[in-house]
Amino acid sequence: METKFIPYEAANSCPGSRIGVIAPHPDDEVFGPGGSLAIWSQNVISVAVVSDGMGWGQQENLEQIRQEESKAACRVLSLPEPEFWRHPDGHLLERQDALRSQIQQWIEQHQLDCVFIPSIWEMHRDHRACAEAGLLAALNAKCLESVWQYEIGRPLERVNRLVDISEVFEQKQTAMRCYPSQFEMQNYFEQITALNIYRTYTLPKSCKAAEGFYALNVEHIAEFLRFHQPQRLTQEMFATEQRPQTLLQTLKQWLCPAKI
């Protein structure tokens, strides 16, 4: 029964001959699917970093620093040098239509048959924006065959692919260390390492690290979107953020229900 919820075998066959990667920020391309991309590096055609990575940072040259970190990390993993789309960090939800169109053009330009995007279960607004825009773009990209959703800031709600990255785990860790600017903010190295070790839970003991994905064939994307309605959840989260008092009232009602 357990195998209906998570794989008990690693799926190590390459998902495409022309693979592209969408990263909301400079580092997501490594922290998320970096090990799998290293294994299949000969088939990775393009790495697109969507935002400028400025976040809430005040450092004047932070954008350039993060670009150089991303380039260095991709060299470690034998990936193509990233292209930087330079959308404003933290504001990708406000540019969803333009982002969807840009992703579709990028897919067609590189004739990609498989694309890696963040998952719809991510909580970060930029991650969610890229997930939704990526899935919508995939609906109309004629050359595309599959989309693989990866995990970064939140474990996947469901996993249907596990990739054994034991042989490249040290290589991924070396690539992660290319982002010292981000380790000043959070213990990302330890967190991603722990996530990759945890993903070995249902795999043989010989597996030392793994990455989890939710893969979709293009013909199943429309049904997936209808069932999960990620845009509705994003809109509700965004609306709640604009009305914190509404959230407070909801929490009070939930924690202290009226006595009947």
pLDDT of 59 reads: 73
One-character DSSP codes across 38-95: HHTGGGEEEEEEEE---TT---TTHHHHHHHHHHHHHHHTTPPPPEEEEEPTT-GGGG
Tokens 């970064």 found at: 152
Cα 60 to the center of its chain, rounded Å: 27
Q: Which residue segments constitute the domains of the chain, with CATH numbers given?
A: 2-228 (3.40.50.10320)
Of 31, 33, 50, the C-alpha closest to 214 is 33
C-beta separation of 56 from 125 below 8 A: no
pLDDT of 2 reads: 75
pLDDT of 250 reads: 56
Of 110, 129, 102, the C-alpha closest to 118 is 129
C-beta separation of 40 from 14 below 8 A: yes
205/242 Cα distance (integer angstroms): 47
The DSSP bridge pattern shows strands 44-51 and 210-217 to be unpaired
Residues (pLDDT < 70) of the chain are 1, 56-58, 236-260
Of 17, 23, 36, the C-alpha closest to 69 is 23
CB within 8 A of 123, min separation 6: which ones?
A: 153, 154
Two tokens at 165? Answer: 């990255």
pLDDT of 54 reads: 92
pLDDT of 228 reads: 87
Tokens 């989309």 found at: 147
**pLDDT tens, position by position, 204-214:** 999 999 999 99
pLDDT of 259 reads: 46
Tokens 């330890």 found at: 190
Cα 28 to the center of its chain, rounded Å: 6
| 177 class by beta-carbon count within 10 Å (0-12 exposed, 13-18 middle, 19+ buried) | middle
Of 25, 21, 14, the C-alpha closest to 125 is 25
**pLDDT tens, position by position, 235-252:** 766 666 666 566 566 555
160/181 Cα distance (integer angstroms): 33
